[in-house]
Amino acid sequence: MMKLFMVLPMILVTALFITSCKVEKKQLTTSLRLVTSEEGDKLAKRDNVEFTSGQVSKGNILKINTNELKQEMDGIGSSFTESSAFVLAHLDVELRKEVMENIFGEKGANFSLTRTHIGSCDFSVEGKYSYLDKVGDTEMESFTLEPDKRGFDTDKYQGVKAPDYDLLPMIKEAMAIKKNQKDDELRIVASAWTAPYWMKDIEEWFIKGTPENNHQGTGGMLKPEYEELYADYLVKYLEEYKKEGVDVWSLTPVNEPHGNNGQWESMHFTPESQNEFVKKYLGPKLHNSRFKDVKLLVYDQNRDGLEHWTDVILGDEETAKYVYGTAVHWYESTFKVYEDVFERVNAKFPDKAIIHTEGCIDDLGKDAPGGITDPERFKEKDWFDNDSFWWNDNATDWGYSATWQGLKVEDHPIYTPVHRYARNIIVSIDHWLKGWIDWNVVLDKNGGPNHVGNFCGAPIMIDTETQNVYYTPIYHVLAQFSKTIRPGDRAVKTEKIIDGLGSDDLHACATLSKDGVLSIQLLNTTKEEIELNLQVDEQYAPVKMKANSVETIQIQL
């Protein structure tokens, strides 16, 4: 009895010690802090921030509850195009490999989510081709990937140093880079701009409008008798690419089904006609083939139309069972993210993905008063090798000075390229987006080549004559996001409390990796330093953001 009486206090003390150990919270510490800024920082490391236990109640506050996890991420990246391959074909082999390593390598941007075009698009060198150009070949005996493999004739294209380099070799080079590294994720979304021209009612690749009425052109629609054949054509593409060693991760029925007013290759669907096409043909054919795991994305156009398309297609249970989610673009506004639309669509269809498959600085060099070609503001091509252009209100888009009926010009003001990218990515992730893909990863110094004169900005722009490779601030921003937001990470709920800031001054999102690394992405759009209190669960830390900057803070939980 005495022995038991003496042992009891020891048991109680031990129990209290174990209990106190369980209650004690681990002190949070930052494992990495990166900044890219107008001042000149490019994924520069900053001093870590110190956390204190407790709740902060004053100042600008970003609250992150790591117990409230949201959507799983599919990645961040850019796109393979024939135009990108053409520009890279002008480089010496070692320089090209260096550029590709900087895009796909672990020490570079390490892009994980990508896109490519099925057949020709505006960013094809000459355009107007498919893999089945022989009219009436319903057996697809003439189907060939030759357009993606043939390279570029050095007699016709002087300056090309790698005549055999093309779209498919570019994709294979990226895959080879990924194969030699630990993180080998490379997810490819494939989109067709059009069916072979003879399958469409216009029997042309596209018909441009007149100069007086240039928004009345058309890309045409599938002839009813060729709807099933077009589905077979898309599945055949997957099969032939697989034979080349390339597994396509995701597929969309067509790029921009609303059309582009006949400016380049396109093909129209309505929500109702695409729903029937997926339900009757493409969905079942994928499901009953070796490609049943290829993720089918519908729509593939501007965010403002997302809700109606999802109501029609995802609202049909017969169709929805074949669909992974919806693809969106950003061209309906230079500043709106349409996060309210994302919230409503996710509330209706919480098990379906939203992936941004295209965004770029479009209409680069287009005449616009007060814009990038205004002689009072810029010299010719002043966006090349000039970081200042990308960090300030300098860019205009297709709708800036347009007069098309129904266009909301107020949605298309002059904008800051870095802000448009970072705002769109951060706000989208904070509102259910699973993946974000930029358009052409590489273009020449003019924003091309482009067979219809639709020049655009790219993360990497190259003077093909001098081989000067310019990594724009967009490249560094995308690299910062890609390196710290990986496939399989989960978005985390955030709450922003603003004290004296404007609604567009500060944006934030957060993701959590499987290894317990919390990545917080911040955008300061102002020309002043912003002081922010970062509240993570029961601890907080003061953060000073540089003016006009994108910052990433990683914390090991």
CA-nearest of 526, 536, 523 to 501 is 526
Q: Is the dihedral of CA 37, 42, 48, 53 positive or negative?
A: positive
What are the residue ranges in the chain where pLDDT is below 50?
1-23
Q: What is the mean pLDDT of the chain?
A: 93
Tokens of 99: 């550029």
Q: What is the pLDDT of residues 190-216, one digit of tens each?
A: 999 999 999 999 999 999 986 666 667
Element (H, E) at 391: helix 387-391
What's the helix, strand, coil split of the chain in %, to 5? 30, 25, 45
Q: How many Cα atoms occupy the beta-carbon half-sphere of 163 within 13 Å? A: 6
Q: What is the CATH number of domain 74-487?
A: 3.20.20.80
pLDDT of residue 213: 66
Domain residue limits, the chain: 28-70+491-556, 74-487
Element (H, E) at 273: helix 271-277
pTM: 0.94
pLDDT of residue 365: 80
pLDDT of residue 223: 98
What's the N-to-C CA distance of the chain in angstroms? 47
pLDDT of residue 368: 73
Tokens of 507: 């944006």
Q: Which residue, chain included where needed, has tokens 């989109």?
A: 191
pLDDT of residue 521: 98
Distances (CA, A) of 320 to 251, 325, 351: 15, 9, 10
Class of domain 28-70+491-556: mainly beta
Those residues whose C-beta lies under 8 Å from the C-beta of residue 484, and which sit 6 or more positions away, are 32, 34, 511, 519, 521, 552, 554
Query: What is the DSSP-derived secondary structure letter of residue 530?
Result: E
Q: What is the pLDDT of residues 306-317, one digit of tens each?
A: 999 999 999 999
